[in-house]
Structure 1
Amino acid sequence: MTKASDLLVRALEQEGVNYVFGIPGEENLDFLDSLSRSQKIQLILTRHEQAAGFMAATYGRLTGKAGVCMATLGPGATNLTTAAAYAQLGGMPMLMITGQKPIKSSKQGRFQILDVVEMMRPITKYAQQIVSGDNIPSRVREALRLAEEEKPGAVHLELPEDIAAEETQQYPVQPSMVRRAVAEEKAVRIAVERIATARSPILVIGAGANRKLTSKVLTQLVDDFAIPFATTQLGKGVIDERHPLFMGCTALSAGDFVHRAIEAADLIINVGHDVIEKPPFFMRHGQREDASEDDPNNPVEVPEGTQVIHISFRSAEVDPVYFPQLEVIGDIANAIWQIKSGLAEGPRPNWDFARMKAVKKHHDANIAKGEDDQRFPIYPQYLVAQVRRVMPDDGIICLDNGIYKIWFARNYSAHSSNTVLLDNALASMGAGLPSAMAAHLVYPERKVMAICGDGGFMMNSQELETAVRLKMNLSCLILNDSSYGMIRWKQANMGFADWGLQYGNPDFVKYAESYGAQGHRITSSAQLGPLLEQCLNSEGVHLIDCPVDYSENDQILNYSIKQLSAAI
């Protein structure tokens, strides 16, 4: 006979789980005791359940294996809901395990009891209460299968206290070997024909393409056939952005140079598109009167007659602005390989990319503008350039959510997949530092930097203690403007008065030191690069307080870029 909580740990070990992130409560103590005897799983005790969920989700994003987090019932479980939505929308595999009062008998009435399973169901792929220790092997296998299956996402299991203490004779289920289905040959053949006969195709790379093998075959396709490509924010780095055919990232919704390149195409090959992200272009049946190029909330419209090919693991979620004429559904890497092979069998296509190359020249010049502006507080373009200069090719930056995310998505050149971790799905604040901590656990030999606004950082700043306790090596760059800068930018753009979004901050150097981290403060632009380099190459946890100058955000992002790109 085996204790049910011991069986749960064995089932997780069978699945290759390395970490459980979270905060135990009274109802998790059987599971915690079982976990203490595991030789394969390390408990990462955090200071807030939300941060534990962010860590588990990022672990899942980087490995493809579900990250596991735990919390108690009631408030512990509710604290996981933001992270559940973060993983679900962002396509990150994650398993949440929460405790519950005994379900067979209880002496505490309804104290702390919520229907956590029903609460989790709308924001997960799977949510179940375990009602018998005998069910643990099948429930764990099914939960993890669904979490990791495309599109990946969050799953939830609730383990009541009395079920955890049960005895059972069951054994873990052996994970099955699963291969993704490949795209239909006929759909691939039609895609090849349309690409070969297009006048000027373009690849638009989205979140679903951010997989290692997909990156390899897409790079081969671009190299072999010289097809220009652009990315969404979640598609950054799938192909090295130093490539001469990189047209840019759709960091802005509309009116940027990259949108001019998309407009120049008569065929858009949309790879790994997910409607969770703001679409980088509008499709239309006829002239739209509600979509203006001057409206930053509306992406670019492609000319009528432009065809769209959807290549993804799942069929397109059709909405008023996205209804592709051809879908190639199956393993993306295999589909791209088939298309590349099909193109190689025919005559070399006669494409014309003169318009896109002209746009590219203006794009690159605009990206370089401001990189040497050494004003203080730090200018965003200069900041991005300095971070890119000190980060190695495989270095990982983990962005929280704020106005700087647009600057990094647009101006920071990603050299490989999953080296720019940002969230353009739920777009939650507070994920930057926990994401960096998870990245360090997965890749302890690589340089990792969290980049956070002061607002987002303070939402999970307590995890500095966790990072110090675990002797992590990472840097956290705080972009300090003493306000919620993204919302101030939107406020200015909408013509409202600058009001209600400014606050005070602690002394971040002393704050870091109070946790045992090393605190630094930028006092001149010349200091930025050397200090970043010093922190990245030193052991321990480093916190850098960097004042930033966002005064030109509204003019540049809402007006100047749109005017310059429209003139091409």
Structure 2
Amino acid sequence: MTSLEKPATGADIVVETLERQGVTHVFGVPGAKIDKVFDRLVDSSIQTVVCRHEQNAAFIAGGIGRMTGKAGIAIATSGPGVSNLATGLATAHSEGDPLVALGGSVAVADRLRSLHQNLDAVELLKPVTKFAAEVASPSTTAEVLSTAFRAAESGRPGAAFVSLPIDVMTAPAECKSISPRATPELGAGSKKTILEAARIINHARNPVVLLGLMASKPAAANAIRLLLDEVSLPVVGTFQAAGALSEKEFASFGGRIGQIANQPADELLDDADVVITVGYDAIEYWPSIWNRGSDRPIIHIDVLAAKIDNDYNPSVEIIGSIEESLSRLTPMLRRNAISERAGTFLKRIAADRARMIAEAGTYNGSPVHPLRIIAELQKILSPDVTVCSDMGSFSLYLSRYLTSFRARQVLISNGQQTLGVALPWAIAASIVRPNEKVLSISGDGGFLYSAMELETAVRLKANLVHMVWIDGSYNMVGVQEKLKYGRVSGTEFGPVDIVRYAQAFGAIGHHISHAEDIGPTLQKAFETPGPVLISVNVDYADNFKLFEAVHRDSTF
């Protein structure tokens, strides 16, 4: 180092580490306790995307992680800056999305003093992350960050948080950035467990495969398709397993299940004498709903051991790489035909599906029936379209009835079931998949949780279309309250003019008045550069049917 060169600071090491990890974008909101990192980002290869709320920065970063498998980066200042990250981190943690969040902090010596924006962020965020730690000295900056990346991206991915005290960021680093190494790859599960799983499946009367969120990772999805191309097994999937199967395996697919056990696929699953779960986590669909009181064998195939509870106690656990385990298991299976009983279920499900599609096309008028919107969306869901779903009644329609044949094509929140994720995820998709069409969907309740990020989308010139289903209420909550108590409480709110809202941010807005306008409006929106908002008034009169005929004694 010459006399004119300044020593590297902790902030320099942070930015160098991000670059070494292949980070191209960071998303966040600046502040005094983190401004040294923001300053050093200016001279880096990384694009800093200023967001309008830290929670949305974490949502965008989580979306980046879900689509790429590499941790997205959110950055915030101390105090409320890092506390605003909590919901985004909890969502990524529950959804299996790799995310590393960086938060500013007061100086180490000031930790116990009563200062503004002083907060024990590490303790706050430990429950919603895989890893949370503070860089307590300049010499540990690189190793703490490297550990955070490894935690976020390995095993079942999730969220990690690193607290960066301002004095450590401005002090000489006393360390060098660490070159990332390839994450150790898991092999297949043990030969013993694979042999035992094969024995159970081969002797089963009516085994059924239950796909979970990790099954929709591209490598796992490919292995599942190869298995089903060789072995005849009926399949159901949680909402987050969307896209795990291709059209070739669709005849074996009973449908998506989750939240309420009232789908035809629930009957198929309930009738199974053996259940093979692949990449499944109980948070997606509680075992107390789909397996209550059952002692049938469960084969658990995942990167992590099962979380045992009263209704989920697998007979065999194949722990390791899902794709490697399936590739070893596939040639050992001897099932050339789906059982007659399961085949009957699948034929009925296929007939019901065809009938629903035909009926959906007949729903006309205004407001528009949800199934008509789904039918129109299905027409435009080509392989080059990414769909990002928020949470609400509409998400049940999307999750149950919109068919996807590409892994991670449809992004759904089904862990924390978080309101407000759709638009931030769409921004992430416009960055990760710039040559694709991006459609995000929310209700008029969830839309305003993150609608301020429309300005971010406009600034980024993000090519995305966001559709808002309007009914003037938190309908999903209201329907359930009505069924439980005979009345609703706290679910109504006032209107927002979506077209004017779009125009206020420099975006384009359209309103759909009639069902026949859905297709042409979507086509026009996709052909328009930059963000486009579309509003449509929805007829939710039939929504009580989403919660009818609840299977077993499930609660919601």
Aligned to 1:130: 135
Q: Which amino acid aligns with 1:98?
A: G
Q: What corresponds to 1:62 in structure 2?
A: 67
Give % identity.
Answer: 31
Distance 1:164 1:145, change over 3 A: same
Kept in 2: contact 1:96–1:156 (CA 8 A): yes
CA distance in structure 2 between the aligned counterparts of 1:469 and 1:548, rounded to whole angstroms: 30
Q: Could you tell me which of 361, 364, 367 is aligned with 2:353?
A: 364
1:434 pairs, out of 424, 444, 451, with 424
Q: After TM superposition, give the deviation of residue 347 of structure 1 in Å.
A: 8.1
User: What secondary structure, in the 3-state scheme, does the structure 2 residue paired with 1:24 have?
Assistant: coil
Report the alpha carbon displacement of residue 362 of structure 1 after superposing the two structures with TM: 4.3
More moved, 179-188 vs 443-452: 179-188
1:514 equivalent to 2:504? Answer: yes
Decide which of 249, 256, 268 is 1:249's aligned counterpart: 256
CA distance in structure 2 between the aligned counterparts of 1:401 and 1:274, rounded to whole angstroms: 19
- Selected match of 2:218 from 212, 215, 225: 212
Match of 1:172 in 2: 177
C-alpha distance after superposition, 1:275-328 (max 9, x if no partner): 11123x55xxxxxxxxxxxxxxx44658x5632111111111011221111111
1:27 is paired with a residue of what secondary structure? coil
- Are residues 1:318 and 2:324 paired? no
CA contact (8 A) 2:69 2:153 kept: yes
The one of 473, 484, 488 equivalent to 2:474 is 484
CA RMSD of superposed structures (Å): 2.1
Partner residue of 2:22? 16
Is the Cα–Cα contact under 8 Å of residues 259 and 300 in structure 1 kept in the other structure?
no
Q: Quote the offset at 1:195 in angstroms.
A: 1.5
Contact 2:465 2:534 in 1 (8 A): yes
Against the structure 1 CA distance between its residues 513 and 265, is the aligned structure 2 distance closer, same or farther, given a 3 Å change threshold? same
Do the aligned residues in 2 keep the contact of 1:264 with 1:355 (CA within 8 Å)? no
- Is the aligned partner of 1:3 residue 2:9? yes
Paired residues for 1:176-255 under 5 Å:
176-177=181-182, 178-240=184-246, 243-255=250-262
The amino acid of 1:532's aligned partner reads L
Query: How much does 1:49 deviate?
Result: 0.4
Quote how far apart the aligned CAs of 1:114 are. 1.2
Deviates more, 1:252-261 or 1:80-89: 252-261
- Please tell me whether residue 444 in structure 1 is matched to residue 434 in structure 2: yes
Query: Bigger CA drift: 82-91 or 354-363?
Result: 354-363
SS class of match (2:33)? helix
Displacement of 1:562: 7.3
1:544 lines up with 2:534 in the alignment? yes
DSSP 3-state at the match of 1:2: coil
SS of the residue corresponding to residue 520 of structure 1 reads strand
Q: Does 1:162 align with 2:167?
A: yes
Indicate the residue corresponding to 1:110 in structure 2: 115
Supply the distance in 1 between the matched residues of 2:151 and 2:549 (Cα, whole angstroms): 45
Whole-Å Cα distance in 2 between the matches of residues 390 and 6 of structure 1? 46
Is residue 2:38 matched to residue 1:32?
A: yes
- 8 Å Cα contact 1:184/1:329 also seen in 2: yes
Larger deviation, residues 13-22 vs 172-181 = 172-181
Q: Residue 472 and residue 354 in structure 1: after superposition, are their counterparts in 2 closer, same or farther (change >3 A)?
A: closer
Whole-Å Cα distance in 2 between the matches of residues 413 and 381 of structure 1?
13
CA 1:117–1:355 in 2, change beyond 3 Å: closer, same or farther? same
Q: 2 CA distance for matches of 1:119 and 1:99?
A: 14
Deviation at 1:366?
5.3
- 1:473 alignment partner in structure 2: 463
- Greater mean alpha carbon deviation, residues 198-207 or residues 368-377: 368-377
CA–CA distance in 2 between the matches of 1:402 and 1:393?
25
Task: State the one-letter code of the partner of 1:226.
Answer: S
Moved more, 64-73 or 164-173: 164-173
Matched, 1:384 2:390: no
How many Å separate the matches in 1 of 2:176 and 2:63? 29
Matched to 1:146, the amino acid is: A
Q: Secondary structure at the match of 1:310?
A: strand
Q: Distance in 2 between matches of 1:499 and 1:436?
A: 32
Render the CA deviation track for 1:174-233: whole Å, top value 9, x for unaligned. Answer: 222221142001111111122122222211100121211111111111122221211001
Match of 2:4?
Answer: none
Distance 1:210 1:350 in 2: 23
Contact 1:257 1:363 in 2 (8 A): no
By how many angstroms is 1:268 displaced? 1.2
| Counterparts of 1:176 and 1:437, CA distance in 2 | 29
1:380-439 deviation digits (Å, cap 9, x = unpaired): 111111111112123111111101111111110011111111111011101110011111
Shift in CA distance, 350/28, structure 1 to aligned 2, threshold 3 Å? closer
The answer (yes or no) to whether the contact 1:475–1:535 under 8 Å persists in 2 is yes
Other structure's SS at 1:118 match: helix
Letter in 2 for 1:558: F
Report the AA paired with residue 450 of structure 2.
N
Alignment correspondent of 1:292: none
Structure 1 residue ranges without an equivalent (≥5)? 283-297, 564-568
Which residue identity is paired with 1:400?
D
Aligned partner letter, 1:546: V
SS at match of 1:192: helix
Check the 8 A contact 1:257/1:362 in 2, yes or no: no
What one-letter code is carried by the residue in structure 1 that aligns with 2:99? M
Q: 1:194 to 1:394 in 2, by over 3 A?
A: farther
TM-score, L = length of structure 2: 0.93
> Is the CA contact 1:394–1:416 (under 8 Å) kept in the aligned structure 2?
no
| Match of residue 3 from structure 2 | none
Question: Residues 492, 199 of structure 1: CA spacing in aligned structure 2 closer, same or farther, 3 A cutoff?
Answer: same
Aligned to 2:61, the other structure's residue is in SS state helix
Equivalents in 2 of 1:477, 1:454: separation in Å? 10
Q: List per-residue Cα deviations over 1:63-91 (Å, max 9, x = no partner).
A: 11111110000111111111111111111
**Partner residue, 1:268:** 275
Matches within 5 A, 1:281-360: 282=288, 298-299=289-290, 306-343=296-333, 348=336, 351-352=339-340, 353-360=342-349
Count of matched residue positions in the alignment of Structure 1 and Structure 2: 542
Secondary structure of residue in 2 paired with 1:275: coil
- Show the counterpart of 1:288: none
